[in-house]
Amino acid sequence: MNKIKILIADDHKLVRTGIRYTLNGGENASFIDRIDEVMNGKEAVERAKIFTYDIILMDINMPEMDGIKATAQIMRENSDAKIIALSMHSDDYEIRSMIKAGAKGYLLKNTGSEVLAEAIKTVLDGGKYYSNEVALKLMEPYAGDLSTEKRSSSRIDKRKISLTRRELEVLRMIANELTNEEIAKKFELSKRTIDSHRQNILSKLQVKNTAGLIKYAIRLGLV
């Protein structure tokens, strides 16, 4: 991966410093060329006009201009911009508003460094990334329909059989908002092993992200 440029938009200096420290720590630093910081949405819009950033990490509640408006304006001016919301809040309105504005990902600020790095890489590759808590919120309106579907779909049953017992356990924990690192600790396994299980599950269920995994976890009756 080529080294990338990142913009952090957050009105709290302590938060910006923490994100910068997280991004510059360990293996993450190997793919980062530059990290810039701004204090509000208006400054983010102005900075995005001057520099081309590979990733913009956008807070939502900021003075001058909030992250939703800033994201929408940046996307209007550059439809290729890759913005990931990074917020303290998992309110349905804010999640859907950021996605509608053009954000390619949504993470909570308690996200670990591994998840943040994974989200950045996924979005850089053209995908979308939502933390487990956010993915569950996005799936809530469909939970009833999916529960009905799981009782009548033999196709889903066949996919369930194709998952190993351990993979089913990992899928259940993902759907219950545990990170790969937390799952690894519970099983007393390496995070790399859990990462491998997750990729196998994605492949077997033919889904692309956490939202897809949670969708099938609901269909399989794991949550």
Q: 36-40, 77-81, 93-97, 160-164: lowest mean pLDDT where?
A: 160-164
Q: Is residue 67 part of a domain?
A: yes
Query: In whole angstroms, what is the distance from residue 191 CA to residue 181 CA?
Result: 5
Q: What is the pLDDT of residues 160-187, one digit of tens each?
A: 447 787 888 888 888 877 888 888 888 8
Look at phi and psi of residue 116 and say left if phi exceeds 0, alpha if psi is from -120 to 50, else beta.
Answer: alpha
- Burial (CB < 10 A; 0-12, 13-18, 19+), residue 197, is buried
Q: Tell me how many domains the chain contains.
A: 2
Together in a domain, 33 and 98? yes
pLDDT of res. 187: 86
Q: Is this prediction's pTM over 0.75? A: no
pLDDT of res. 103: 95
Q: What is the pLDDT of residues 97-144, one digit of tens each?
A: 999 999 999 998 887 777 888 889 889 988 888 887 787 677 655 444
Which range of residues forms the domain containing residue 171? 138-219
- Burial (CB < 10 A; 0-12, 13-18, 19+), residue 140, is exposed
Q: Is residue 133 part of a domain?
A: no
Together in a domain, 107 and 152? no
What the block records as the tokens of 114 is 């591994």
pLDDT of res. 146: 44
Together in a domain, 152 and 113? no
Together in a domain, 48 and 122? yes
SS (H, E, C) the chain: CCCEEEEEECCCHHHHHHHHHHHCCHHHHHHEEEEEEECCHHHHHHHHHHCCCCEEEECCCCCCCCHHHHHHHHHHHCCCCCEEEEECCCCHHHHHHHHHHCCCEEEECCCCHHHHHHHHHHHHCCCCEECHHHHHHHHHHHHHHHHHHHHHCHHHHHHHHHCCHHHHHHHHHHHCCCCHHHHHHHHCCCHHHHHHHHHHHHHHHCCCCHHHHHHHHHHCCCC
Q: Is residue 71 part of a domain?
A: yes
Q: What is the CATH number of the domain that holds 111?
A: 3.40.50.2300
Is-contact 61 69, C-beta < 8 A? no
